[in-house]
């Protein structure tokens, strides 16, 4: 089992600390969820872990070994941002070649997208674009997968297939997932952290989300 520990992350914009008290552990076989209200720093934390946003301090350990370089430089991490990030003109065939992925396997998960092989990314619908990106990130070779809002834009059936894909891949890869569609996150994640005012707290029950002001009690 591989374990990634993320700690001592400090990041501030001006005088305000956006991230200050972070300790998150993620491991293979148990996807980890990250929940929080808008503007609390979920995407920022993911970018810091990914390595595209430099922090004042950050400590990342893989299997108790502290990394000297960022996960990005080590090529141990893949990141699904909350927006579409594939080049608009790229064909699905080219993108799959870049990520070294099998289109046949993709079709076995998403048979409805059989016709997309030679099409350009910008001609796909919003949901189809998201599925292609999620699949590419989940199936790429890196150890840690950071998924920022993977369930947004997906139909309920697509979200279910994506959940199954994440669970299947999580046996050998580490997942950190954030999404406001928190039911999906709670459904597949063994451990869930709540991010508020720059620090994280591990939560154990759905009721805690109500207590923390993330959900309403009358739901």
Partner 1 sequence: MTGKIKLKLFFRFYQYLFIPAAIINIILCAIFIQYGIDIFTSIFWLKIFSDVLFYIIINRQKKAEYYYYYNHGWNKTALWTLSLALDILIFIALIVICYKWM
CA–CA distance, 135 with 57 (Å, rounded to integer): 31
Pairwise CA distance, residues 113 & 116, whole Å = 6
Provide the 10 A C-beta neighbour count for residue 4: 23
CB of 196 to partner 1, least distance (A): 26
Q: How far is the CB of 47 from partner 1 (least distance, A)?
A: 10
Give 15's DSSP letter: T
CB-based contact 121:88 (threshold 8 Å): yes
CA distance 145 to 83: 16
Question: How far apart are CB 211 and partner 1 at their closest, in Å?
Answer: 35
Residue 178 or 209 having the CB closest to partner 1:
178
Q: Which is nearer to partner 1, 1 or 141 (CB)?
A: 141
For residue 189, give both structure tokens: 């994640």
What whole-number distance in Å separates Cα of residue 121 and Cα of residue 94?
Answer: 10
Residue with smaller CB distance to partner 1, 80 or 209: 80
Residue 11 or 80 having the CB closest to partner 1: 80
In angstroms, give the least distance from the CB of 178 to partner 1.
16
Interface residues toward partner 1, by CB under 8 A: 50-52, 72, 75, 78-79, 81, 83-88, 90, 97-98, 100, 137, 140-141
């Amino acid at each position: 089992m591989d374990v990634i520990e993320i700690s001592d992350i400090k990041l501030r914009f001006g005088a305000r600390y956006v991230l200050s008290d972070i300790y998150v552990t993620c491991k293979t076989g148990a996807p980890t969820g990250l929940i929080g209200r808008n503007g609390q720093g979920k995407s920022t934390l993911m970018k810091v872990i990914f390595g595209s946003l430099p922090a004042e301090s950050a400590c990342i350990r893989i299997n108790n070994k502290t990394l000297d370089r960022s996960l990005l430089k080590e090529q141990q991490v893949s990141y699904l941002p909350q927006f579409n990030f594939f080049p608009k003109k790229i064909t699905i065939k080219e993108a799959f070649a870049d990520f070294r992925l099998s289109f046949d396997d993709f079709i076995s998960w998403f048979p409805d997208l059989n016709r997309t092989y030679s099409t350009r990314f910008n001609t796909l619908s919003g949901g189809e674009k998201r599925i292609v990106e999620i699949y590419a990130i989940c199936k790429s070779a890196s150890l840690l997968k950071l998924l920022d809002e993977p369930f947004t834009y997906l139909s309920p059936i697509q979200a279910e297939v994506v959940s199954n894909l994440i669970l299947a891949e999580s046996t050998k890869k580490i997942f950190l997932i954030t999404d406001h569609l928190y039911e999906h996150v709670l459904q597949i994640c063994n451990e869930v952290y709540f991010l508020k005012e720059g620090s994280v707290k591990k939560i154990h029950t759905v009721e805690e989300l109500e207590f923390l002001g993330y959900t309403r009690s009358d739901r």
